Chains A and B, each alone.
Chain A
Amino acid sequence: MLMLKFGLCCLGMMFLLKEWLLLISVLTILTFFCLTFMMNFDLGVINLIQLDFLTYLLVSLSLWVTALMIVMSFYIKHSKNYFEVFTSLSLAMLFFLVVSFSTSNLLMFYIMFESTLIPIFLMVMGWGYQPERVSASFYLLFYTLTASLPLLMGILYINSQQFSTDFSSLVVPNSDYLLFWMLIIAFLVKLPVYLGHLWLPKAHVEAPVAGSMILAGVLLKLGGYGLIRFLPFVENSLSEFSVLLVSIGCIGGVLASIICMRQTDCKSLVAYSSIAHMALVVVGISLNSFISVAGAVIIMIAHGFCSSGLFSLVGMIYDRVSTRSIILIRGIVSVGPSMTLWWFLFSISNMAAPPTPSLMGEIYIFMSSLNWAGVLAVFVGTLSFFAGAYNLYLFVSTQHGTNLSGCKSFTEVSVREHFVLISHMLPFLLFLVLLTNIYS
Chain B
Amino acid sequence: MFNRAVTAAQLKPWLKFNYILKNVTFTVRSFCNSCPRYSNKDDEPVKPSILVPEDFQAELDGETYCPPLAQPIKPHVHPIKKSFDLLGITGRNDPKTHNNLYFPRHCDILIIGGGIMGCSIAYWLKQRGHDNGLRVIVVEQDPSYTRASTVLSVGGLRQQFSLPENIEMSLYGAEFLRKSKKLLSGEGLEGPDVQFHPFGYLFLATEKGADQLIANHKLQTSLGAKIQLLSANKLKQKFPWINTDGVELASLGLENEGWFDPWSLLNGFRNKALEMGVEFVKAETVGFETQETIVPEQPGIGDSGCYHKLKRVHVRLHDGDIRTIDFSKCVMAAGAQSGKVSKLAGIGLGTGLLRNALPVEPRKRYVYCFHAPEGPGLDCPLTVDTTGSYFRREGLGGHYVAGKSPTANEEPGVANLDVDYTFFDQQVWPDVALRVPGFENIKLKSAWSGYYDYNTFDQNGVIGIHPYHTNFLFATGFSGHGLQQAPAVGRAIMELVLEGKFLTIDLSRFAFDRVIANQPVFEQNIV
Contacts and interface: CB of A to CB of B under 8 A. Distances in A.
Interface of A: 79-82, 85-86, 121-122, 125-127, 129-131, 134, 263-265, 320-323, 325-328, 330-331, 401-412
A45 to B, nearest CB: 32
Interface in B278-315: 293-296, 298, 300-301, 307, 309, 311
Given A122-B79, A130-B106, A405 B329 contact: yes
Contacts of A323: 108, 328-329
Contacts of A331: 500
B83 A80 contact: no
Contact of A412 (B104, B133, B296): B296
A328 B497 contact: yes
A80 B82 contact: no
A80 to B, nearest CB: 7
A139 to B, nearest CB: 13
24 contacts: A80-B76, A81-B76, A82-B79, A85-B80, A122-B79, A125-B87, A134-B90, A321-B328, A322-B326, A323-B329, A325-B108, A325-B132, A325-B135, A326-B133, A327-B133, A327-B134, A328-B109, A328-B328, A328-B497, A401-B500, A402-B499, A404-B465, A405-B465, A408-B307
Contacts of B301: 408
A330 B500 contact: yes
Contacts of B468: 408
Interface in B359-394: none
A410 B500 contact: no
A213 B301 CA distance: 35
B31 interface: no
A409 B78 contact: no
Nearest to B326: A322
Contact of B470 (A82, A264, A401, A409): A409
Contacts of B185: none
A322 B470 contact: no
Contacts of B471: 405-406, 409
A212 to B, nearest CB: 16
A410 B301 CA distance: 13
B309 A265 contact: no
B327 interface: yes
A407 B471 CA distance: 10
Given A325-B135, A401-B500, 13 more contacts: A85-B78, A122-B79, A125-B79, A127-B79, A129-B105, A134-B90, A264-B131, A325-B134, A404-B465, A405-B329, A408-B470, A409-B471, A411-B295
The 5 A-B residue pairs with the shortest CB-CB distance, nearest first, are A126-B79, A264-B133, A323-B328, A402-B500, A125-B83
B509 interface: no
B501 interface: yes
A261 B131 CA distance: 13
B105 A130 contact: yes
Contacts of B295: 408-412
Among the interface residues B75, B76, B83, which one has the most CB atoms of the partner chain A within 10 A? B83
Interface of B: 75-76, 78-80, 82-83, 86-87, 90, 101-106, 108-109, 129, 131-135, 293-296, 298, 300-301, 307, 309, 311, 326-329, 465, 468, 470-471, 496-501
Q: Which of B75, B103, B328 has the most CB of A within 10 A?
A: B328
A170 B226 CA distance: 88
A81 B61 CA distance: 38
Contacts, number: 115
A134 B80 contact: no
A146 B87 CA distance: 19
A126 B81 CA distance: 8
A81 B106 contact: no
Contacts of A407: 470
A409 B293 contact: yes
Contacts of B499: 402
Contacts of B465: 404-405
Nearest to A329: B328
Contacts of B78: 82, 85
A406 B76 CA distance: 28
A125 B101 CA distance: 12
A204 B293 CA distance: 27
A85 B132 contact: no
Contacts of B296: 412
B79 A85 contact: yes
A328 B79 contact: no
Contacts of A401: 500
A81 B78 CA distance: 8
- Identify the interface centre among A85, A263, A322: most chain B CB within 10 Å of its CB: A322
Contacts of A412: 295-296
A328 B307 CA distance: 20
Nearest to B79: A126
A408 B501 CA distance: 17
A79 B79 CA distance: 13
B79 A131 contact: no
B427 to A, nearest CB: 46
A325 B326 CA distance: 14
Contacts of B106: 129-130, 322
Contacts of B83: 121-122, 125-126
Contacts of A328: 108-109, 134, 328-329, 497-498
A134 B328 contact: no
Contacts of A130: 104-106
B501 A402 contact: yes
Contacts of A82: 76, 78-79
A214 B293 CA distance: 28
B311 A322 contact: yes
B433 to A, nearest CB: 53
Contacts of B329: 323, 328, 405
Contacts of A408: 295, 298, 300-301, 307, 309, 468, 470
A265 B134 CA distance: 9
Contacts of B108: 323, 325, 328
Contacts of A326: 133
Given A264-B134, A409-B309, A411-B295, A322 B328 contact: yes
A122 B85 CA distance: 12
A82 B293 CA distance: 23
Nearest to A128: B79
A411 B301 CA distance: 13
Contacts of A320: 293
B68 to A, nearest CB: 17
A92 to B, nearest CB: 12
Contact of A126 (B82, B101, B497): B82
Contact of A131 (B103, B129, B498): B103
B231 to A, nearest CB: 49
A408 B293 CA distance: 9
A404 B496 contact: yes
Contacts of A330: 500
A401 B106 CA distance: 25
B154 to A, nearest CB: 36
